[in-house]
Structure 1
């Protein structure tokens, strides 16, 4: 039996599996070692994970998490896992690797995350071999929900939206200059605030002005990220995340412009990760 964790900042999805199926499915609080220490992580595991496992001890724990992008941060999670499961091997890695394995399995490809934020990598079928860095919502995040929201709010504040759209947006969110600036500059999660406007853009996506923004968002992502990977037109380019999924029509339009073949578009890595690890387990039997 192995234990797989897909962890974001808000929730962690745990699956206890073997080659035949899933035997436990547990949801716990999200964990980001960029912001919390090993002792706090251990407390979450002890309170929310351990009671559900009924003394089941996995041989290996594969933990894929937000913020797990450096040896120091990964060690915080590993130490907490080893304290809970002293006889288990713990493998801690970035959520980008989870996306690559869920999307590509054991085959090479480009894997992209387009949700609240964005990221991408070139994957060789086992590991990430190249990564154009994600620079966050302030100076990067092209292709993301936060980037879409930033484009929309900027156009609204600069009076560049048609009056009907501007009125609809203002009434929907009760927008004022102060509420926007507070949401961006005083919020603990400004990218999440900006990404909330992606839902409005999805509803209005047939409007020419909104469609142009969505197209530009993806166009910048392809130009600044996808096209930087060697052989990007020779392997499938795959996507995970709500923005990629809900705006897939426009994503396909932009991909065609760059001669890119889109493979898989999914909202969550969980099922793909299960399939990836079950295949490995079957091969090792």
Structure 2
């Protein structure tokens, strides 16, 4: 049995492919080796994933946030081998490689992530050949849910929102104040998840010119920081995956078009594409 995982900072989607071709699925919390060690990940897999697996896992293909090098990939691989010692093959790659394979399959293209975080790469049909070098939540992630939420909350705390948006925000998030935000930003785990949770407010109010402009400008910044660094951007297909890209697809397509580029495929999650790639 093949086990495939797409793990973001918020959740992990799992698929199994049985020898007869039957597809199984499961969902657990997200994992990130920058924030969690092997023992923590293994404990969660033991509790949430293993009971859903019916059969012997022979190979694992895991793509996840934070899996950016041998050390971080090794943290996840150790956890997977602890839970699935019978697996002969355990491959751990970045969420960006997973996105590229899900979006482009075996063709060249530019693959972009716009979810809780953001990133982009140039893909040759098998591997990543160039990246834009995402700097993570605090120093980058432009255009992502985390970035949108951080921008919104910052403007709210600085009293820079129009009165009607500010009142809506206060009614919806009664417990949000300066000290609460600073605590989540600097003391609580996963600040990216916390700030990304506010991005839905912009989605629900995107008909308001200020909310729309905040999203538009965030996507403009994403294109400038990521896509414009690829020399062949005008000749290769550009694809997106992630909840932000999917739900804000109308604004995203408008921004990309205004920059003289063309979007082809937009997926909410990579897991279906990865299942096809590995099947």
TM-score by length of 1: 0.88
CA displacement at 1:150 relative to structure 2: 2.2
Structure 1 match to 2:15: 15
Distance 1:181 1:82, change over 3 A: closer
On the 8 A contact 2:10/2:116 being kept in 1, the answer is no
Distance 1:29 1:164, change over 3 A: closer
The Cα offsets for residues 18-68 of structure 1, whole Å up to 9 and x where unpaired, read as: 58633432334443322333344444444544444444242x221112221
Does residue 209 of the first structure (1) align with residue 210 of the second (2)? yes
On the 8 A contact 2:145/2:195 being kept in 1, the answer is yes
On the 8 A contact 1:109/1:238 being kept in 2, the answer is yes
Quote the Cα distance in structure 1 between the aligned partners of 2:75 and 2:259. Answer: 41
Distance 1:119 1:233, change over 3 A: same
Name the Cα RMSD after superposition. 2.2
CA displacement at 1:111 relative to structure 2: 0.9
Quote the Cα distance in structure 2 between the aligned partners of 1:190 and 1:42. Answer: 22
On the 8 A contact 2:4/2:15 being kept in 1, the answer is yes
Does residue 111 of the first structure (1) align with residue 108 of the second (2)? no
Q: What are the within-5 Å matches in structure 2 for residues 142-221 of structure 1?
A: 142-174=142-174, 175-221=176-222
Distance 1:265 1:19, change over 3 A: farther
On the 8 A contact 1:235/1:261 being kept in 2, the answer is no
On the 8 A contact 1:8/1:31 being kept in 2, the answer is yes
Distance 1:167 1:17, change over 3 A: same
Quote the Cα distance in structure 2 between the aligned partners of 1:48 and 1:158. Answer: 41
Where 1:125 maps in the other structure, the secondary structure is coil
On the 8 A contact 2:10/2:193 being kept in 1, the answer is no
Distance 1:37 1:228, change over 3 A: same
Q: What are the within-5 Å matches in structure 2 for residues 1-285 of structure 1?
A: 1-17=1-17, 21-58=21-58, 60-83=59-82, 84-86=84-86, 88-174=88-174, 175-278=176-279
Quote the Cα distance in structure 1 between the aligned partners of 2:262 and 2:209. Answer: 25
Between the two proteins, the alignment pairs up a number of residues equal to 277
Where 2:277 maps in the other structure, the secondary structure is helix
Quote the Cα distance in structure 1 between the aligned partners of 2:197 and 2:62. Answer: 28
On the 8 A contact 1:82/1:88 being kept in 2, the answer is no
Question: Quick check: which has more Rg, 1 or 2?
Answer: 1
Q: Could you tell me which runs of 5 or more consecutive residues in structure 1 were left unpaired when the two chains were aligned.
A: 279-285
Where 1:21 maps in the other structure, the secondary structure is coil
Quote the Cα distance in structure 2 between the aligned partners of 1:111 and 1:215. Answer: 20
Q: Could you tell me which runs of 5 or more consecutive residues in structure 2 were left unpaired when the two chains were aligned.
A: none
Distance 1:98 1:207, change over 3 A: same
